[in-house]
C-alpha cells in the first residue's frame, strides 16, 4: 500500500514546487530607455507635412534635476500623436528611474521648446526659436 502513496506524494510535491516557483518569479523588467527611444524613433519615422500647422514639438527624456532633455518634431499628418505621447511618457519615467538608480547628475540647463515648422515637406524643430 505504501508503494501506491509514493507516486502520489511525488506528484503533489512536484505540483507544489511548480506553484511556488511561479509565484516567486520576478515581474518582467520595465523597458529600457534605449528600447523606448527606438520605439519613439520608429513611431515618429514619418514627419512629412504640407504646412506648419501639421507640425508639433514634444519634450523627450528627463534630466536628473527636472525638465526634459530635448524636444523632437512630429507631424499630425502621419499620426494623431497619442501613441507617441504614451511612449515619450514611458521613456521619461524610465529615464527618471534610471537616473535615481545610478545617481546621475545633469547640467540642469532649461531645455526650451523651440516649436516645430514644416520645411521641405518635413516637420523640423524651429531652430530660430532655439537657445544658443
Domain total in the chain: 1
For residue 122, the enclosing domain spans 33-126
* Of 75 and 104, more confident: 75
CA nearest 128: which of 118, 119, 115, 109? Answer: 115
Does any domain span residue 40? yes
Asked whether residue 73 carries a pLDDT value surpassing 90, the answer given is yes
Q: Report if residue 70 sits inside a domain.
A: yes
Indicate whether 51 belongs to any domain: yes
Q: What is the pTM of this model?
A: 0.72
Per the domain annotation, does 121 fall within a domain? yes
Q: Please count the other Cβ atoms lying within 10 Å of the Cβ belonging to residue 105.
A: 9
Quick one: pLDDT band at residue 43, thresholds 50, 70, 90? very high
In a domain? residue 100 = yes
Check pLDDT > 80 for residue 3: no
The more confidently predicted of residues 66 and 114 is 114
Residue 18 lies in a domain: no
Domain membership flag for residue 105? yes
According to DSSP, residue 128 is labeled G
Amino acid at each position: 500500500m505504501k508503494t501506491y502513496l509514493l507516486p502520489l506524494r511525488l506528484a503533489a510535491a512536484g505540483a507544489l514546487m511548480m506553484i511556488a516557483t511561479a509565484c516567486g518569479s520576478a515581474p518582467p523588467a520595465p523597458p529600457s530607455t534605449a528600447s523606448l527611444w527606438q520605439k519613439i524613433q520608429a513611431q515618429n519615422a514619418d514627419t512629412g507635412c504640407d504646412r506648419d500647422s501639421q507640425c508639433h514639438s514634444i519634450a523627450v527624456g528627463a534630466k536628473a534635476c527636472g525638465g526634459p532633455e530635448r524636444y523632437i518634431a512630429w507631424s499630425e499628418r502621419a499620426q494623431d500623436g497619442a501613441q507617441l505621447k504614451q511612449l515619450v511618457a514611458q521613456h521619461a519615467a524610465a529615464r527618471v528611474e534610471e537616473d535615481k538608480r545610478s545617481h546621475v547628475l545633469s547640467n540642469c540647463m532649461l531645455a526650451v521648446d523651440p516649436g516645430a515648422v514644416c520645411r521641405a515637406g518635413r516637420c523640423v524643430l524651429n531652430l530660430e526659436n532655439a537657445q544658443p
